[in-house]
Amino acid sequence: MSNTARASAALISLAVLTLPVLFVLAQTDAVSDIQRQINEHNAQIEALDKEIAQYQVQLDAVSSKKKTLQNTLTQLNLLLKKSAASISSTKKKIESTQLEIQELSRGIADKQESIDTGRAGISQSLRQLREFEGVPLVVQILSNDDISEIWSDIDANQSLQSAIDSQIERLATQKKSLTDVKEKTEAKRVQLLKQQNTLLSQQGTLNAQKKAQNELLAQTKSQESTYQAIISQKKSQEASLEAALSDLKAKYNVAVNPSEVTAAGKGILKWPLDKVRITQYFGNTAFAKKGAYSGSGHNGIDLAAQIGTPVKAALSGTVIGTSNTDAVRGCYSFGKWVMVKHNNGLSTMYAHLSQVVVSQGQSVGTGSVIAYSGETGYATGPHLHFGVYVSAATHIIKLIEATNKVSPCAQATLPIVPLSGYLNPLNYL
């Protein structure tokens, strides 16, 4: 029996020593190499972020200059460089996160091996201990000529039990550590998915900016005089469009039933941009009173946004219309626009876009990217026009079908709404 007790004690001692040894083995050259790669990626990310900040400083300087074709092209080129750097930075962040996940996964594997080895040692020791404890003390005394060895076995048995208790406590600590590492790994995976979504959005931004640049060059044929003529034409035709929208035919100019108007409330809609700066408010603003919008007031709000900024759905719903009024020769209206109808009686309008990435009939979720901002239509600077309409009073048709006035936009398709059908977006955001 004495030999059994000593063998058990040796086994449990091995189990006790296993965990720290394996922990040291986990700090291998492979792990060090992963950390080295992570450090290199982080240094590259820091350099790219500095580059992005420099492009933004240059963009701010160009934006304050007179609006010329060359300045606009310079701004687009800076935007392209900034977007390309942002994409590179995000890719490096994704790679760094993947390396961190790899390192954490290795740590999980090492800790799990330590736990499994420790449990195996405990199980074997417990079996030995049960065999020893299964023999009555009187039998041990009668079967052994040396009583002192019996007391040594009993003492070894008590030492073994103490070692097992310590090892169980150690395993509990290891299990807690394993759980913490697992939670960190899961959090890293969530972070990785977010970074991948950001990358997709940034690539969309880059494509929108390239498209805007190509369209500008095609439209102006690189002639400053042509560019300035387009700006002047936009300003003069804005009043013509607003007048046409204010003089609707009787069947489209009906009063909105109050029961069809969704009650105002903060947070009903989400902001369509991640960063919000209002440049023009709804209704009879000071700008409107100076003669803008034909005295009808501004039918939405304008939000500052560089070309290619992701535009997000303010609420889940269905795309009920999308078009490009610039496709009608001589018409400078909403430019590229999207309208989404929601289930609460509201429809939201997004205009002056550089690129639309949804189609009519498509379902969209709150916060999903539906377009990229621009300065198409009668915009004379990059921004997003955001409007909120009463769905029941909204008709998406050609302007010629709805107005009594002649307009260059007669053949353009756009949302037609009576004045009472426009709602202040700030009452719902």
**164-180 pLDDT tens trace:** 667 667 767 776 777 77
pLDDT for 14: 47
Q: Which of 49-53, 70-74, 154-158, 357-361 has the highest mean pLDDT?
A: 357-361
Nearest-angstrom CA–CA distance, 269 and 274: 13
pLDDT band at 197; cut points 50, 70, 90: confident
Between 180 and 263, where is the model more confident? 263
Give the domain-ending residue among 184, 215, 246.
215
pTM reported for the whole predicted model: 0.73
Give the domain-ending residue among 200, 215, 230.
215
Our CA dihedral for 101, 102, 107, 109, rounded to 10 degrees, sits at 120
List Cα–Cα distances, 267 to 263, 264, 345, 407, in angstroms: 12, 9, 15, 37
Nearest-angstrom CA–CA distance, 356 and 372: 7
Does 49 have pLDDT greater than 50?
yes
Identify the CATH number of the domain in which residue 285 sits: 2.70.70.10
Q: Which two tokens stand for residue 256?
A: 């909105």
Nearest-angstrom CA–CA distance, 261 and 418: 13
Measured N-to-C along each axis, helices 147-220 and 69-133 cross at an angle, to the nearest 10 degrees, of 170
Average pLDDT over residues 222-230: 85
Residues 242 and 210 in one domain: no
pLDDT for 20: 47
pLDDT for 118: 67
Average pLDDT over residues 230-258: 82
Closest CA to 385 of 333, 429, 343: 333
Average pLDDT over residues 193-217: 85
Specify if 374 maps to a domain: yes
What tens digit of pLDDT does each residue of 353-383 get? 999 999 999 999 999 999 999 989 888 789 9
Residues 297 and 398 in one domain: yes
Specify if 226 maps to a domain: no
What's the number of domains the chain is made of? 2
pLDDT for 124: 65
Residues 75 and 173 in one domain: yes
Does 151 have pLDDT greater than 60?
no
Specify if 224 maps to a domain: no
Residues 360 and 410 in one domain: yes
Q: What's the mean pLDDT when you consider all of the chain?
A: 80
Between 31 and 43, where is the model more confident? 43
Residues 121 and 202 in one domain: yes
Specify if 121 maps to a domain: yes
What tens digit of pLDDT does each residue of 105-130 get? 777 777 777 777 766 766 666 666 56
Domain that holds residue 266: 238-427
- If phi > 0 it is left, if psi is from -120 to 50 it is alpha, else beta; for residue 334 that is alpha
Beta bridge mates, 302: 280, 385
